Amino acid sequence: RPCFLLEKPTKNCPKNSTYQYAISACQKTCRSLSEPDLTCSFSIRCVPGCLCPDGLVLSNNGSCIPKEECPCLYNGEVYHNGESIQQDCNTWYEVIYTDYLLLLISAPRTRLRGYWSCSSRPVPQNRPSRNVTMAAVIKECGRTCMVYGEGHYVTYDGKRFDFSGDCEYTVTQDYCASNTANGTFRVITENIPCGSTGATCTKSLTYVITFQNFELKLSEGSYEVVERDTGSEVPYQVRKMGIYLVIEHLMIWFPYTLIMQKNNLLCDACHGNVCGLCGNYDGSVSNDFMTRSLSVVVNVQEFANSWKASPTCPDAEPIRDPCVANPYRRTWSLRHCSIIMSPVFSKCHGKVDPSPFHESCVHDTCACDSGGDCECFCTAVAAYAAACNEAGICVAWRTPEICPLFCDYYNPEGECEWHYKPCGAPCMKTCRNPSGNSQHFSSCYPKCPKSRPYFDEDIMKCVALANCGCYDDDGKRYNVGDMVPSYKNCESWYVLPRTIDTGAVYLKYNSGHRAISTCHRSTPHRSCGMTCLALSNSPLTFRPSRNPSELISSD
């Protein structure tokens, strides 16, 4: 039946609304524009309350606003005009106010307001005005191969499998099929058994990465470089980010954890050009188990054994279920690993399936029966937390009792700069990364004061920009006063202190910049004369060159 006003309103209501003793319980709200209102599915009841006048709707904070000012609602979360959300690896959607409101990607409903839309055009720097329907940012990104715990793999195309062997195995490479002689990189893992059931532990895992004439060996939080042919240009960069060593190459991006966690291989330009335990990255999981001889098999052992780096190494056998072999560890494992399925990670459960990570956690924790059981447990949980972080859900799961990271170890006496940040420090400026753009890695990070806003990764301290050195393309550092190599006779370059503004001075062989200091040439062999070269007015990077005129800035 219709509702009628019974008596004159006397109650106080928010701005733009009036109190009435008999109104319909089914009112227009910002939420009802985005999803069905359950109160409207029942027979209409008359209730007292505040009523928004025609043309206005009830907002999330209880005030009456024009429907054009309502935010968007997605998966129970509220997003305002201009905010972005990641729907998957390749697409970012941005809230744009228009004449429509659509929660899911489909045809817009009429007479509503604002929607998520998909477009191949990037959102411009200046936010689009209203009534603009283009609302998506296409983010091109490569696929990731995940390696974590005691032999758990997820291929580039998403196929999961478990394998443990104590040999060296090719994780991924581009020396494949017809390109066996002209590849550019190879990643090899060396596993060492750490339990009585045959499981291999991440704490004993070593990676050997080959880039043409260079070989990097990553083990126990450090790396060693072997140069096979002197004089070659270094085709990769190594930099430290929290507890990670990041190896960057034209084809792959590999963050290697300095403590046990999970390691991801991000391949930006590998589509259909790679092979190994990580699969061939062709978009199909059906042929991920392709052996070295190019045959597709279904047996995990046959597939993985074909990627042994040495044919003389014995084939790995299927390992026994560690919880059956060690039944006394099963209860302990189930109790501790239940954190993955608990409310601690509830926000992530809808984004990343916790079941395979929980199974891996129980498996690994049962397998680590030769010491280090807490490390195996923490590694498994950290792998799920990292996967959640990559999906946009940050979970602060570590506590002083559960897998703590003791960041105070890095603090100088009497200082408290270092803190644990589960979501990383994406805006932290460093000497090697002055822009502050970085990944969201969970780790210990310093909070640098305004007087020393840059973190120097080489000395692990906060410094002023003036104390940051110069870095060439090989990652080699040069401090103020250091001589920079030059391939031209009778010429040496020096890094000079800046006399205007702060920051280190980077040499630039280009008269287009105003000189702000003096510069010198040394005469180690014979007299060469003195010349003053122009110096840039802003921090630059340089690369040693056989032609000094090729020393260029990064901007």
Residue 107 binned pLDDT confidence (cut-offs 50, 70, 90): very low
The confidence score (pLDDT) of residue 524 equals: 29
- pLDDT per residue as tens digits for the range 131-157: 223 233 333 455 678 888 778 888 888
Return the top range by mean pLDDT from 57-66, 246-255, 473-482: 57-66
Clarify whether residues 183 and 300 are in a common domain: yes
Question: Is residue 425 one of the residues assigned to a domain?
Answer: no
Overall domain count for the chain: 4
Helix axes 373-390, 355-367, angle to 10 degrees: 160
Residue 376 has pLDDT above 50, yes or no: yes
Residue 381 binned pLDDT confidence (cut-offs 50, 70, 90): very high
Question: Is residue 444 one of the residues assigned to a domain?
Answer: no
Clarify whether residues 156 and 246 are in a common domain: yes
Give the mean model confidence (pLDDT) for residues 24-49. Answer: 65
Question: Is residue 73 one of the residues assigned to a domain?
Answer: no
Clarify whether residues 161 and 211 are in a common domain: yes
Mean pLDDT of the chain: 67
Closest CA to 169 of 21, 309, 25, 348: 309
- pLDDT per residue as tens digits for the range 251-278: 555 544 433 344 555 555 567 788 999 8
Q: Which of 340, 355, 390 delimits the end of a domain?
A: 390
Measured torsion, CA atoms of residues 263, 269, 271, 273, in degrees rounded to the nearest 10: -90
The confidence score (pLDDT) of residue 302 equals: 93
| CATH number of 50's domain | 2.10.25
Clarify whether residues 160 and 258 are in a common domain: yes
Clarify whether residues 240 and 285 are in a common domain: yes
Clarify whether residues 25 and 164 are in a common domain: no
DSSP designation for 427: T
Residue 533 neighbours by CB under 8 Å, 6+ apart: 507, 508, 509, 515, 519
Q: Which of 305, 331, 357 delimits the end of a domain?
A: 305
Q: Looking at per-residue confidence, does 111 or 196 come out higher?
A: 196
Q: Which of 251, 279, 305 delimits the end of a domain?
A: 305
Give the mean model confidence (pLDDT) for residues 444-471. Answer: 82
Clarify whether residues 171 and 202 are in a common domain: yes
Closest CA to 109 of 28, 57, 26, 33: 33
How far is the C-alpha of 23 from the C-alpha of 51, rounded, in Å?
7
Question: Is residue 165 one of the residues assigned to a domain?
Answer: yes
Clarify whether residues 231 and 333 are in a common domain: no
Q: 494 is written with which tokens?
A: 């020096």
- The full 3-state SS of 401-418, as one line of letters, equals CCCCCCHHHHCCCCCCCE
254-306-203 Cα angle (round to 5) = 45
Question: Is residue 245 one of the residues assigned to a domain?
Answer: yes
Clarify whether residues 171 and 287 are in a common domain: yes
Question: Is residue 516 one of the residues assigned to a domain?
Answer: yes
Element counts in the chain: helices (H) and strands (E): 7, 31
The confidence score (pLDDT) of residue 378 equals: 87
Question: Is residue 220 one of the residues assigned to a domain?
Answer: yes
Q: Is 10 helix (H, G, I), strand (E, B) or coil?
A: coil
Residue 304 binned pLDDT confidence (cut-offs 50, 70, 90): very high
Clarify whether residues 287 and 165 are in a common domain: yes
User: Domain range spanning residue 278?
Assistant: 143-305
The confidence score (pLDDT) of residue 298 equals: 92
String of DSSP letters for 218-264: EETTEEEEEESSTTPPP-EEEEEETTEEEEEESSEEEEEESSSSEEE
String of DSSP letters for 500-536: SSSSB--B---TTS---S------SSS-----PPPB-
- pLDDT per residue as tens digits for the range 510-552: 333 322 233 333 322 222 222 333 333 333 333 333 333 333 3
Clarify whether residues 152 and 285 are in a common domain: yes
Question: Is residue 113 one of the residues assigned to a domain?
Answer: no
Residue 123 has pLDDT above 60, yes or no: no
Task: Name the region of 293 (left: φ>0; alpha: ψ -120 to 50; beta: rest).
Answer: alpha
The confidence score (pLDDT) of residue 264 equals: 56
Clarify whether residues 250 and 383 are in a common domain: no
